[in-house]
């Protein structure tokens, strides 16, 4: 629409298969029809989404919402294609760190004149920051996922190490020391911690916020540059040292996804695995009988338990002819009681203050209380509002972090790649 894009055959086929189109073309009955593309994928989450759509449709015969299933794996390219072709869904489910190019490119509606006062007031300002680009708000942040440590309770308790709480977490230095103690106690071929880092960038940046890391720096003229400081190095350095120096974490999991490490956790090969909060669902469903697990807060740095987070978002396409109707659906969809249903369906945490206060999200069972305690420390991810972040992540940061964590390059080379190579990528976006 307002920028040049490379349209791949795959993306074009995705558009044809999804058949996303705004408005109610092809109908002449006076009913407004909205397309809602959801990225929910777990059964409980899909069920919650579909049930809410059905409840809306039953109560609003003149404004009907069609549920369209999307995929996290292809959403960025699919949206590029649908925006270019003028066939975007009216209501778009995505994540805040994927919105910058769409927002600056004019593809997403500014929600400020559309949102209800109730919804604006219910979600904290720090969450709205994740979807604010320039002067406009281009998405509603509604679900958030802190990173936590899932631990084998029996191994931790038998070792005698101090078990952290949100009130008294481990520091990053203490975490490294305790990992050495646990590995020594567990015996050969077993490790204190497994780091699944198939996608290393968000883990490194978002946990780095606890140590004061920010990586991206916005200049007075609006340009964003990369600067890798000592604070940015704390978390990557800890992970590197656990794998390369201390041998308290195996190299073999570095290319793995979170789910890939669960069999080893269940078998006692690893005592702890840092994971997103939503992985608790898989553990609750898949853990063998007798396996006892607990949820620990991630280590704290100079900024305490602060973490960067990129919430899941709901946006409205700029080209949708029914923005007011779409906003009314969002207001219904994100009522506090509905936000709780969505959060529990995804095993995540709501951004809304009223929903987050729900007692069901503060129980000790399955670690809900630990997540809720961390929620108030969540901050916008360092990559928020950075144009060109997806390319920087894929072409520069991901290979650099992967090589650093495996020991193939040192910290100086990691810094050089992130800063020098990274700034060359970002500079191109400021010329567009």
Question: CA angle 180-182-185, nearest 5°?
Answer: 110
DSSP string, 396-427: IIHHHHHHHHHTSS-HHHHHHIIIIIHHHHHH
Question: Dihedral angle at the C-alpha atoms of 79, 57, 49, 136, nearest 10 degrees?
Answer: 50
Q: How confident is the model at residue 2, as a pLDDT?
A: 37
Alpha carbon separation from 2 to 101, 106, 138, 308, 343 (Å, rounded): 11, 7, 16, 30, 35
Q: How confident is the model at residue 122, as a pLDDT?
A: 97
Number of C-alpha atoms within 13 angstroms, CB side, residue 179? 29
Q: How confident is the model at residue 24, as a pLDDT?
A: 46
Q: How confident is the model at residue 387, as a pLDDT?
A: 86
Can you tell me whether residue 366 is helix, strand or coil?
A: helix
Phi, psi values for residue 40, rounded to 5°: -55, 140
Q: Decide if 217 contacts 426 (C-beta within 8 A).
A: no
Sign of the C-alpha dihedral computed for residues 256, 260, 263 and 266 taken in this order: positive
Question: CA angle 225-309-52, nearest 5°?
Answer: 135
Token digits for 17?
A: 């298969």
Q: Decide if 395 contacts 326 (C-beta within 8 A).
A: no
d(CA 423, CA 227): 9
DSSP 8-state secondary structure symbol assigned to residue 161: P
Alpha carbon separation from 24 to 58, 62, 64, 179, 370 (Å, rounded): 18, 12, 10, 58, 45
Q: What are the b/e assignments for 278-289, b being 16+ CB within 10 Å? A: bbbbbbeeeeee
Q: How confident is the model at residue 432, as a pLDDT?
A: 57
Taking alpha carbons only, the member of 80, 139, 53 closest to residue 384 is: 139
Q: For the chain, how big is the Rg over CA atoms in Å?
A: 22
pLDDT along the chain (432 residues), means of 10: 38 42 58 97 93 98 97 92 94 94 95 97 96 95 97 95 96 98 95 97 96 92 92 98 98 96 98 97 95 98 96 97 98 98 97 97 96 94 85 95 98 98 92 64
């Amino acid at each position: 629409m307002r920028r040049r894009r490379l349209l791949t055959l795959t993306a074009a086929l995705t558009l044809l298969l999804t058949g996303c189109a705004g408005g109610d073309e092809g109908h002449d009955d006076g009913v407004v029809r909205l397309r809602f593309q959801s990225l929910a994928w777990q059964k409980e989450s899909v069920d919650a989404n579909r049930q809410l759509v059905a409840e809306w449709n039953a109560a609003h015969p003149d404004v009907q919402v069609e549920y369209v299933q999307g995929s996290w794996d292809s959403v960025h390219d699919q949206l590029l294609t649908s925006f270019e072709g003028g066939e975007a869904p009216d209501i778009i489910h995505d994540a805040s760190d994927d919105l910058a190019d769409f927002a600056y490119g004019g593809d997403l509606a500014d929600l400020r004149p559309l949102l209800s006062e109730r919804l604006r007031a219910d979600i904290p300002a720090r969450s709205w920051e994740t979807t604010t680009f320039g002067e406009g708000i281009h998405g509603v942040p509604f679900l958030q996922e802190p990173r936590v440590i899932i631990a084998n309770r029996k191994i931790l308790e038998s070792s005698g190490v101090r078990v952290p709480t949100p009130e008294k977490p481990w520091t990053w230095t203490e975490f490294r020391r305790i990992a050495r103690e646990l590995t020594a106690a567990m015996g050969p071929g077993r490790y204190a911690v497994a780091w699944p880092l198939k996608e290393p960038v968000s883990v490194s940046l978002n946990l780095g916020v606890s140590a004061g890391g920010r990586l991206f720096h916005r200049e007075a003229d609006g340009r964003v540059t990369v600067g890798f400081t000592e604070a940015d190095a704390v978390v990557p350095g800890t992970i590197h040292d656990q794998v390369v120096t201390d041998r308290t974490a195996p190299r073999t999991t570095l290319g793995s996804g979170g789910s890939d490490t669960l069999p080893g956790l269940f078998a006692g090969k690893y005592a702890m695995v840092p994971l997103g909060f939503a992985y608790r669902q898989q553990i609750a469903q898949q853990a063998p009988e007798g396996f006892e697990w607990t949820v620990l807060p991630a280590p704290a740095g100079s900024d305490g338990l602060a973490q960067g987070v990129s919430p899941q978002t709901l946006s409205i396409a700029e080209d949708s002819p029914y923005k007011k109707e779409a906003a009314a659906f969002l207001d219904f969809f994100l009522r506090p009681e509905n936000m709780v249903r969505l959060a529990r369906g995804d095993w995540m945490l709501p951004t809304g203050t009223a929903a987050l206060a729900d007692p069901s999200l503060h129980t000790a069972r399955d670690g809900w209380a630990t997540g809720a305690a961390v929620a108030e420390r969540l901050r916008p991810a360092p990559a928020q509002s950075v144009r060109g972040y997806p390319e920087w992540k894929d072409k520069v940061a991901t290979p650099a972090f992967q090589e650093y964590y495996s020991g193939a390059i040192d910290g100086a080379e990691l810094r050089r790649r992130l800063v020098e190579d990274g700034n060359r990528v970002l500079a191109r976006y400021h010329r567009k």
